[in-house]
Chain A
Amino acid sequence: MPKNKSFVSLWLDLNILSTHNFMIKRQNTLKLLMVWFCLLLGQTVYSQSDYTGNKRVTGTYAITNATIITSPGKTISNGTIIIKDGLFAKISTSAQLPVDAQIIPGDSLIIYPGFIDALGEQGVASPEEAKRPKDMDPSNPPNHVAGITPELEVLDYWNIEGNGVEAWRKNGFTISQVAPKGLMLPGKTALVVLGDEKSSNYLSTASGLYAQFKTPRGLYPGTTLGLMAKWRELYKNAVLKQEHEKMFVAQGNGLARPQNDPSLAAFYPVIDQEIPVIFQAKDELEIRRALKLQNELGFRLVLTGVEDGSSLVEDIKAAGASVILSLDLPDPKASKVEFDEATEEAKKAQQRVVEAYNNALMQAAHFEKAGIPFAFSTQDAKSGEFMKHLSLMMENGLSEEAALAALTINAAEILGIAQYTGSIAEGNLANLVITTDKLGDEKAKVKYVFADGYLFEYEGEKPKVDMSKAKELVGTWNYESETPGGTSKGTVKYEINAGELQGEIVVDDPDGSGQITRKLKDINYDGKELSFNFSVMAQGNKLIVYAKGTVMDDKFEGTLSIKDMGKYSLTATKVPEFKL
């Protein structure tokens, strides 16, 4: 660091010199410039002198004493991972830590292989909307106006700093197959690693031909009817065009010169079975239509964004198609409506909505049971709901191993990159996610992510407790809360356990008589402001109760609140400790 410091001060001196002594003789100025220049050169030679402070100190990391899930079902306890130059250098229980390694204590943490998003659009910008030519015949518009741009490369529209990348990386995603935005044939997908912003970050440029059931307004093909016909026509014409080009190359003389058609040429690698068609097909009929086209035309098919595929497992198996399920789950709003006052018929109809909702949550479990390996897609899913949706799927029958496989090794296999990623193995890309709890546990939080060997820390997400002040809280507190149902009384207990402030609250059971004890979550305490929350079950619904207020000596004053239900006063007094 001293070198860095001296450089900065010199630079400041130079600045002062050059501005203050503007009238200095030219000779002197030249000298100064030379010094300046030499210093600049020096900077590149001694590259650890980074005045911005952005450059990382080392590319070598050691995560020690952690629970490592190297691949679904395979665990190393108290293991250490050493990362060097973007790869896993060593995974063992007794590794020698390199001297240049930044050490991350992994005690009580769980390490998973970095998650892979088998189809997403984080970091992808929309292409500029195609201008409709004047006097265009809407029955026969140019391809790019009709949403047919299979030749487009998504990397031309992708930026590591673009929308969504950070949000999904924060969830543990380290690789994504990004899809271009558009209509029926938006372009080619690419594989990117969500690593450092200065890296190029792509793993492959054209991993698949992306297709959707989306059509332009008022132009052919304007509906699914036209889309299906257009698909057949494009594909068959690409086959013919390729044949023509081959004839021309082989024979040449006497043959009409093939006209260049970038849209059709974009199909060649699909026709040659080099890359698959990645078809976004959400509902059952869309999936059937994609399978129908595959059956007629014979391309390799990956179905993505699948939301309603449970009844199609056999057809999908028979077609040999790969499956990417959507991480988006249906909005539970419709299934949660209270129907006490409704007609009998409406109640029955509502029951079917609830069934449909539950079925949607069970989709992943259905695929697991059917033995179809699947991956997940982040497209159209909200990053903030990832952990919640994952636990919902696991509560509805998806095993922990299958969930992890979908996020890691299955995705790698579908994308054809399992030889260097998808599991924690020496020599693989250093992509991993480090969590506080097991996957599917609702309180699991991502603490660190390594992508492409780069470390991303998410400690800021953790509740903050000033430990020096926390011991003032330790003990039992009697509380009172004024609610519309009367005064509620109970106790809160705080203790410090393994360096962490923990607590529990005794509250009236909303579902019956008596009291129940609940663990406090997300405790924040800075010596004055105290907040936490806890959950209770009331008539089958989980309510989260938030408490917030100020601590003054042995008194607490604040509020209790429940979302959409109101705010009530909360006061508490610490019970004096008796010392014998």
Chain B
Amino acid sequence: MKKFNYILLCVLLLVANGLTAQTPKGSVLIKNATVLTVTQGTLEETDVLVQDGLIKKIGKDLSAPKNVESIDATGKFLMPGIIDAHSHLALDVVNEATAPITAQVSMADVINPFDVGIYRALAGGTTIAHGLHGSANAIGGQSITMKYRYGTHDPEDIIMKEAPRTIKFALGENPTRVHGRGKNLQPRTRMGVEAVIRNGFAEAIQYKKQWETYNASKDKKNNTITPPEYNLKLETLADILDGEIIIHCHSYRADEIYMLINVCRDFGVDKLVFTHVNEGFKVAPELAKYTMGASVFSDWWAYKFEVYYSTAYNAAILMENDVITSINSDSGELIRHLYHEAAKTQRYGGLTDEQALSLITINPAKQLGIDDLVGSIEEGKQADLVIFDNHPLSVYAIPQMTFVDGVKYFDINDDEDDQRLKVSPTQMVEPVYLQAEDERCMHGVELFTEEAANFTHTH
């Protein structure tokens, strides 16, 4: 008996260990909702059963298994968790602006799971965000796709492990201002940006070859080839050339967009997404043919010279030209109502409900390489879901509950004033309490750009 207890304890401990090593997965039955699947039409008065973090069944009159909570969503709307393909939330550092290429750095190293912005994004229905390096460098750092599992202290729990690797590139005024005008280095012009990227790729090819030569001969008898220097930057660039990393490139002008398409074609790189892309409408066929699409603002422009030629019809034009198009936030504020941003494409371009919703769900999922897992309500997909009181494209829509992997992380009826996970013991609180945060693309580059202070928007 004693022995049996001991074994039981061991088993329990093992199970407990297994559970802590994994992120939480939930089960729930959402009943009688208008289900906006995005990929399979709108299903009226339909139930969605979630088990262990996955969508198990979509249908009518489903019953909840034992111990699974049932939520009555009569008259409410259920949509896939919103995915933001461009964010700088929950990152302690945004720019390592000291070099034109910083492919060696990784945003996964600086995730801050305590950022209350995560909770606010969840309250706006966002469940996944792509945390990008800033736009100071021609080739920035490796970005990170995050699932907003708010409440954990462990940055690893925020990472969407299944997502492929991504990296930030940046063209135009930001890298030339930081490195060219700020430090008198290449790139000083758009030509320089192209040269920096091409040189980087060319070096990576040589680097890869060096290691291949060494690895092929190191175990041979009387080998005289010594280990080459390890270079994490070139290692990463080589991985891009090998198709292991998706590029997300900050860009505005049509010429620079087409330039990078050509550079990538020259080097055989086809995993390429453009972000911002304000002049994308001018090169829509090229974007459709050669890239994984464009992630745009609904209507932000004119915050610097390269962003003047812009239109709110951009997303609609791109979509009608078969470009995989998404709308992103690049902001701790917009990420709280991306459904409004998507709805603007119905006013400017007359997109259908399904098209508009795809801008913030399945399309960004495609751009992040995770569309087989999330981005729509389909059986077998991960249960990232949002319940709205009205149609999410209505200006009156308010998110009611947000689920990630079937676990409820936001409930409007259980929404405490102070949702911060961590408070500093030395933080002075003002008797009248106000809080403000700002997450930006060019965060941390003020040192290099004296005029940066004059920009209110520096995306």
Contacts and interface: CB of A to CB of B under 8 A. Distances in A.
Contact of B153 (A137, A217, A292, A311): A311
A225 B185 CA distance: 21
Contact of A356 (B92, B102, B417, B425): B425
A226 B107 CA distance: 10
A232 interface: yes
Given A255-B224, A337-B428, A343-B433, A222 B97 contact: yes
Contact of B425 (A222, A237, A289, A357): A357
Contacts of A224: 92-93, 109-110
A283 to B, nearest CB: 9
B160 interface: no
Interface stretch (A67-75, A239-247, A503-511): A239-247
Q: Which of A233, A285, A331, A360 has the most CB of B within 10 A?
A: A285
A258 B227 CA distance: 10
A384 to B, nearest CB: 19
A355 B422 CA distance: 10
A285 B444 CA distance: 19
B22 interface: no
B242 interface: no
Contacts of B104: 226, 229, 233
Contacts of B228: 240
A366 to B, nearest CB: 14
Contacts of B11: none
A481 interface: no
Given A258-B226, A348-B417, A225 B425 contact: no
B417 A225 contact: no
B231 interface: yes
Given A138-B183, A139-B99, A359-B425, A349 B153 contact: no
Contacts of A218: 98, 447-448
B67 interface: no
Q: Which of B99, B105, B230, B425 has the most CB of A within 10 A?
A: B425
Contacts of B425: 330, 334-335, 353, 356-357, 359-360
A232 B93 CA distance: 18
B99 A228 contact: no
B154 A288 contact: yes
A345 B96 contact: no
A348 B416 CA distance: 11
A221 B227 contact: no
A233 B231 contact: yes
Given A330-B425, A334-B428, A292 B109 contact: yes
B32 to A, nearest CB: 37
B332 interface: no
B415 interface: no
A353 B429 contact: yes
A388 to B, nearest CB: 16
B424 interface: yes
Nearest to A237: B230
B265 interface: no
A342 B429 CA distance: 10
B251 to A, nearest CB: 22
B217 to A, nearest CB: 12
A292 B425 CA distance: 26
Nearest to B420: A352
Interface in A291-337: 292, 311, 330-331, 333-335, 337
Contacts of B105: 225-226, 228-229
A272 to B, nearest CB: 17
Given A289-B109, A334-B425, A346 B93 contact: no
A502 interface: no
B426 A334 contact: yes
A220 B224 CA distance: 34
B325 to A, nearest CB: 30
Contact of A353 (B100, B183, B227, B424): B424
B159 to A, nearest CB: 12
B390 interface: no
A225 B93 contact: yes
A346 B433 contact: yes
Interface in B198-254: 222, 224, 226-232
Q: Which of A225, A292, A355 has the most CB of B within 10 A?
A: A225
A346 B432 contact: yes
A284 B109 CA distance: 13
Q: Which 8 A-B pairs have the closest CB atoms?
A: A139-B99, A342-B431, A220-B98, A357-B425, A356-B425, A346-B433, A254-B224, A330-B425
Given A225-B93, A240-B229, 15 more contacts: A139-B101, A219-B98, A220-B99, A222-B96, A223-B444, A224-B109, A247-B226, A285-B92, A333-B428, A342-B432, A343-B433, A345-B417, A346-B432, A349-B418, A359-B425
Interface of B: 92-93, 95-102, 104-107, 109-110, 112, 114, 133, 141, 153-155, 183, 185, 222, 224, 226-232, 417-418, 420, 422-433, 444, 447-448
20 contacts: A137-B185, A217-B447, A219-B98, A220-B96, A221-B98, A223-B96, A223-B444, A225-B107, A229-B109, A248-B226, A251-B222, A255-B226, A256-B226, A258-B226, A289-B109, A331-B426, A334-B425, A341-B431, A342-B433, A346-B430
